[in-house]
Chains A and B, each alone.
Chain A
Amino acid sequence: MEELDVEPAITNIPAASDGKHLGFAWGPGDILAYETLYMAPGAKGSGCSFIHEVRKDEDIYSPILRKLFNESHHIFVGLQTIREDLPSKNKKTQFVSISKNYRSVIRACMEELQQVAASVLVLQVSILLAIELIWNLCEVLFIDAAPAGPLLLHLLDWVRLHKGDVDEKAREVLQSESPAEHHDYWDVVVSYVLQGRFEEARQMLVKQATLQPAARNMYKLMDTLLSKMPFYNPGGTQTLTEFDVKWRHWHEEVDRCLQDNSFASNQHLEIICKILVGDEDTLLEHKELLSTWYHFLVTRLLFCHPTVKPTELHYYAQSCMTMFLDLRSVPEPLDSILLAAFEFDIHQVIKDCSIALNNWWFVAHLTDLLDHCKLLQSHNLHFGSNLREFLLLEYASGLFTHHSLWQLAVDYFDNCPEFGHVYLELQIERVPLDTERKALKVLRICEQRQMSEQVRSICKIMAMRALRNNRLGSALSWSIRAKDAAFATLISERFLQDYCARGTFSDLDLIDNLGPAMLLSDRLTFLVKYREFHKLYEENRFSEAAKLLLSLITAKIAPRSFWMTLLTDALPLLEQKECNVVVYLLLELGDMEKI
């Protein structure tokens, strides 16, 4: 068992009195805590008779997050059906698109949470933001696995996507009376440059250029520099080496401008030039604009090493993080997760995320996707199953505790080849069955998976309940579903007891219309035939009635307790012409008495 990296969180139970000892019991997703009778010295007051339920995972009860669970379930099920025999290139595109689907679901939830704007949800939104950030990075590095060249472009997209405030500020500046004189103007321009968005930067600079006609040449030079920066084109014919050469040329040109003091008279343009040349100190001076070390990392790569290889990333990542963060500030969990991602240590990423988040949703789905991409080495855990299955089982077990989301969990269990079936068997019997509709759904799930034990048990529960409420027809229909002959016998006994008590049959609509189901049990068959006998008698078809009575006795399906009744029924037939049959009957009965 590995050491815990963080201190366990403490939860106070407000209703429990001071000084009382608490006992507890583990549930599948929560703990039940109760006050014991033991009183420590100094404790006062009588005990509280409540049981407290302590839940770790609040998320599944949030109405907006529920959509996340449902939509991602849909994507998950679709992912499992991707055929193994597709060529890997097609599969990669599909995996990337599935990853994007997952992320768009996260974003949709985030947007909805932001619209609700309650204060408690701010934490929730930031967690989702972090999740999406991590997932996006994993998609870029692991799933898309871009080589040097496109790698930087993807990282740029990643940073741009997660730094939305630049556009907000830009909008504010552009909507003002004189954008070039807005106090945020230069911040916006520099931010654009830091993100490699040169088109927008140039458009902004034009506004400033028109205000300062004297410095026209300087602005023109800057515009040229910005427009000439080469970006690698993945679809083009240029090789990485050619691009590298071109980029170095451009870099030298910018450096020359700096050495020539071309921008010396304009402090802002000088700063931009220094950024373009990749001067670390200048970059670090703009910490508030960069706001995160990973933005700093990508910007630094953009201006110093655009042909960075995936394997080189972690050197730069480590050094950027060190440079960016003060010695005093503590690295947050998010930082170490991102660092682990840059180091291509997938297992560390998953482990850290599992600890940091209170819900298995993220790690379960991400691990499943990475497993499909064949990126996880299958090393067995102490519990016998592999990492993917372990996480899916944990997630699905958590879902099963929810009064409504348990149906989603079934599909997750289905896709855990080793233990999924067992988990499902144990959990499905605990779903409360309030209505027949729900019981039917649970039964369908069990039948589709050949869980015959559970089918029998559920049908028996429903049948007993129906029997207790005197709904004999319902009870019978449940026994028929389970093919439970013993229970059908029990129900038939009830019918026959009713008949003996009252002299008439109840529920004739049932007995008269059973069809082939009456063969389920001997007693049931007897009941139906006995009723038929009565019908024949009422219709004055005495010979047929007598024959039927005889066959009932000779076939030995009549219960012993009923023989007296049968004899009594036979008596009126004596008055009819069918005496001989009846005599034979009596002899038969006499015979059987001897046995």
Chain B
Amino acid sequence: MCEKCVNAKYVSQKISKTRWRPVSHSSLQQPDIFATGSWDNEDNKISFWSIGNHGSSGMDEGFEGDPQLLCEHKHDGDVLDLQFLDQDRIVTTSSTGAVTIFRHHQNSQTISVSQRWPRVHRYPCDNAPCTGVVCSSPEIVTVGEDGKIIVFRADQEGVIRVIENADSSTIHAVTYLRTTEILTVNSIGQLKLWDLRQQSNSPSQILSLSGDRLPLHCVDRHPNQQHIVATGGQDGMLCVWDVRQGSTPFSLMEAHSAEMWEVHFHPTNPDHLFTCSEDGSLLHWETSTHSDMPSFLQGGRNNSMISRSAMAPAGGNQSLISTWLSGDSSKGRLETTHMLPSQTLSVNSLDVLGQCLVCGTDGEAIFVNRQVPV
């Protein structure tokens, strides 16, 4: 990986989340604007940055310069999660338990608060940090340390639905499985499926790690195959699950030496996976395999990384079982590359879109790579 392609920009705030603004599918443009949220400051901020990729692809090397700050806005509490609702609006969740929609006015390069739900996540006598959000405009779903799942609609006051006591421990992240189903991960190593169409307050399925119940911190679903889900947790292990079959992970791979904060499948090239961690590394996982299914979905042992053996899924596909049983990894190859210079503080967040990757660290630096080999 060309280290020269990655520049650090020091921004005087610890970055907790960073997300690319979505580009329309029709255009083949690379993304050019990303949003960041800070944490652990007395005055936290959300900011919009531009890397100036307005179609100009004539430059060599691709890194024409640092990201430029477009505008920023004060944020009450740490920004614990951030998602783009649409081209102009982002949803943020705060350590004060509030959920806010900010609107980015592109013409004047200003930001205004479009809608706010203060203190939606709370304990009887205190605020509870709201740890994760996922949205599919206009629906927004948030989760928090209070173990609640709350559903909102943008442009509607109040909340649509609250699942009280959805979890007895902290829910760390949430993602959509299907348009009406969500997945949450919590501090006792469980992956829970919720069907939002049903009125019951219990999950439709619970999957968990075998062995130690270590907290899971992040979850992401395969873009094309909706039953494949990847999670990362406190021990830095990357787990891949098949939610249709089995209640334990499909395969586990040792990835990092500390908590894994985010895991992302590449949205258009899902043979590529990215993870970032408290240990300061950002890994790019790439599989190349002769079969249709990437090797880390073939389950079981993996020669290039040390892994713990996973339970073979019952009633699984014959070829999958045979791969696992024979311990044959010649059918697939899994390569991992570090994408950052070593010795950075924790990488808290990453996002990848097209050929561009952005990540933020506790060293108050943002790294942008415009030539990710996907």
Q: List 24 A-B contacts (CB under 8 A).
A: A63-B12, A66-B364, A70-B364, A71-B10, A74-B344, A77-B343, A403-B41, A404-B14, A404-B40, A408-B363, A436-B129, A437-B129, A438-B78, A444-B258, A444-B259, A444-B278, A474-B168, A474-B169, A476-B188, A477-B169, A477-B215, A509-B203, A510-B168, A514-B188
- Segment of A49-57, A168-176, A465-473 engaged in the interface with chain B: A465-473
B168 close to A509 (CB less than 8 A): yes
In the complex, what residues of B have CB within 8 A of residue A470's CB? 123-124
CB contact between A477 and one of B10, B12, B129, B187 (< 8 Å): that residue: B187
A473 close to B186 (CB less than 8 A): yes
B168 close to A434 (CB less than 8 A): no
Q: Quick one: closest B residue to A69, CB to CB?
A: B364
A70 close to B145 (CB less than 8 A): no
For the complex, is B57 an interface residue (Cβ under 8 Å from A)? Answer: no
A438 close to B40 (CB less than 8 A): yes
The complex places the Cα of A515 from the Cα of B14 at a distance, in Å, of 37
Known contacts: A435-B78, A438-B40. The answer to whether A471 contacts B147 by CB under 8 A is yes
B10 close to A67 (CB less than 8 A): yes
Contact with A along B9-50 (1 / 0, CB 8 A): 011111010000000000000000000000111100000000
Known contacts: A73-B363, A510-B188. The answer to whether A473 contacts B169 by CB under 8 A is yes
For the complex, is A507 an interface residue (Cβ under 8 Å from B)? Answer: yes
User: Within A208-245, which residues are at the interface with B (CB < 8 Å)?
Assistant: none
Q: Kindly count the residue-residue contacts between A and B in the assembled complex, taking CB atoms under 8 Å apart.
A: 138
In the complex, what residues of A have CB within 8 A of residue B175's CB? none
CB contact between A515 and one of B203, B206, B211 (< 8 Å): that residue: B211
CB contact between A437 and one of B80, B186, B209 (< 8 Å): that residue: B80
Q: A403-B40, A437-B80, A471-B123 are in contact. List 16 more A-B contacts (CB 8 A).
A: A66-B364, A70-B365, A73-B363, A404-B41, A435-B78, A435-B95, A435-B129, A441-B278, A469-B123, A470-B124, A471-B169, A473-B147, A474-B147, A509-B190, A515-B212, A517-B213
Q: Quick one: closest B residue to A517, CB to CB?
A: B213
The complex places the Cα of A201 from the Cα of B131 at a distance, in Å, of 65
In the complex, what residues of A have CB within 8 A of residue B12's CB? 63-64, 66-67, 70
For the complex, is A480 an interface residue (Cβ under 8 Å from B)? Answer: yes
For the complex, is B170 an interface residue (Cβ under 8 Å from A)? Answer: yes
For the complex, is B369 an interface residue (Cβ under 8 Å from A)? Answer: no
Contact with B along A424-442 (1 / 0, CB 8 A): 0000000000111110110
B146 close to A403 (CB less than 8 A): no
Q: Which 9 A-B pairs have the closest CB atoms?
A: A473-B168, A473-B169, A507-B168, A469-B123, A67-B10, A66-B12, A477-B187, A63-B12, A510-B168
The complex places the Cα of A438 from the Cα of B345 at a distance, in Å, of 14
A74 close to B124 (CB less than 8 A): no
For the complex, is A506 an interface residue (Cβ under 8 Å from B)? Answer: yes
The complex places the Cα of A329 from the Cα of B209 at a distance, in Å, of 76
Contact with B along A63-85 (1 / 0, CB 8 A): 11011001101100110010000
In the complex, what residues of B have CB within 8 A of residue A64's CB? 12
Please give the distance in Å from B212's CB to the nearest CB on chain A: 7
Q: Which residue among A66, A435, A517 has the maximum number of chain B CB atoms within 10 Å of its CB?
A: A435
CB contact between B170 and one of A434, A444, A471, A513 (< 8 Å): that residue: A471
For the complex, is A516 an interface residue (Cβ under 8 Å from B)? Answer: yes
B213 close to A480 (CB less than 8 A): yes
B-binding residues in A (CB < 8 A): 63-64, 66-67, 70-71, 73-74, 77-78, 81, 403-404, 407-408, 434-438, 440-441, 444, 448, 469-474, 476-477, 480, 506-507, 509-510, 513-517
The complex places the Cα of A476 from the Cα of B202 at a distance, in Å, of 20
B211 close to A509 (CB less than 8 A): no
In the complex, what residues of A have CB within 8 A of residue B80's CB? 435, 437
A-binding residues in B (CB < 8 A): 10-14, 16, 39-42, 78, 80, 95, 123-126, 128-129, 131, 145-147, 165, 167-170, 186-188, 190, 192, 202-203, 206, 208-213, 215, 234, 258-259, 278, 343-346, 362-365
Q: Which residue among A63, A70, A444, A480 has the maximum number of chain B CB atoms within 10 Å of its CB?
A: A70
Q: Which residue among B14, B131, B215, B346 has the maximum number of chain A CB atoms within 10 Å of its CB?
A: B215
In the complex, what residues of A have CB within 8 A of residue B345's CB? 407-408
In the complex, what residues of B have CB within 8 A of residue A441's CB? 278, 346, 362
In the complex, what residues of A have CB within 8 A of residue B203's CB? 509
The complex places the Cα of A66 from the Cα of B208 at a distance, in Å, of 42
The complex places the Cα of A434 from the Cα of B77 at a distance, in Å, of 10
The complex places the Cα of A506 from the Cα of B14 at a distance, in Å, of 38
CB contact between A513 and one of B123, B211, B213 (< 8 Å): that residue: B213
A473 close to B167 (CB less than 8 A): yes
Q: Quick one: closest B residue to A511, CB to CB?
A: B168
The complex places the Cα of A458 from the Cα of B258 at a distance, in Å, of 18
Please give the distance in Å from A400's CB to the nearest CB on chain B: 13
Q: Which residue among A403, A436, A507 has the maximum number of chain B CB atoms within 10 Å of its CB?
A: A436
B168 close to A515 (CB less than 8 A): no
Q: Quick one: closest B residue to A66, CB to CB?
A: B12
B212 close to A513 (CB less than 8 A): no
B128 close to A469 (CB less than 8 A): yes
In the complex, what residues of A have CB within 8 A of residue B165's CB? 506-507
The complex places the Cα of A250 from the Cα of B278 at a distance, in Å, of 64
Please give the distance in Å from A79's CB to the nearest CB on chain B: 11
CB contact between B168 and one of A448, A471, A516 (< 8 Å): that residue: A471
In the complex, what residues of A have CB within 8 A of residue B344's CB? 74
Q: Which residue among A81, A476, A506 has the maximum number of chain B CB atoms within 10 Å of its CB?
A: A476
In the complex, what residues of B have CB within 8 A of residue A67's CB? 10-12, 364
Please give the distance in Å from A118's CB to the nearest CB on chain B: 16
Please give the distance in Å from B78's CB to the nearest CB on chain A: 6
Please give the distance in Å from A495's CB to the nearest CB on chain B: 10
Q: Quick one: closest A residue to B186, CB to CB?
A: A473
The complex places the Cα of A436 from the Cα of B188 at a distance, in Å, of 14
B170 close to A515 (CB less than 8 A): no
A517 close to B212 (CB less than 8 A): yes
In the complex, what residues of A have CB within 8 A of residue B11's CB? 67
A506 close to B168 (CB less than 8 A): yes
Q: Quick one: closest A residue to B172, CB to CB?
A: A436
CB contact between A70 and one of B10, B16, B78, B126 (< 8 Å): that residue: B10
B78 close to A509 (CB less than 8 A): no
Q: Which residue among B42, B78, B188 has the maximum number of chain A CB atoms within 10 Å of its CB?
A: B188
The complex places the Cα of A474 from the Cα of B167 at a distance, in Å, of 9
The complex places the Cα of A407 from the Cα of B39 at a distance, in Å, of 13
In the complex, what residues of A have CB within 8 A of residue B346's CB? 441
Known contacts: A67-B10, A404-B14, A480-B213. The answer to whether A474 contacts B40 by CB under 8 A is no
The complex places the Cα of A578 from the Cα of B234 at a distance, in Å, of 46
The complex places the Cα of A506 from the Cα of B169 at a distance, in Å, of 12
Q: Quick one: closest A residue to B210, CB to CB?
A: A515
The complex places the Cα of A70 from the Cα of B145 at a distance, in Å, of 31
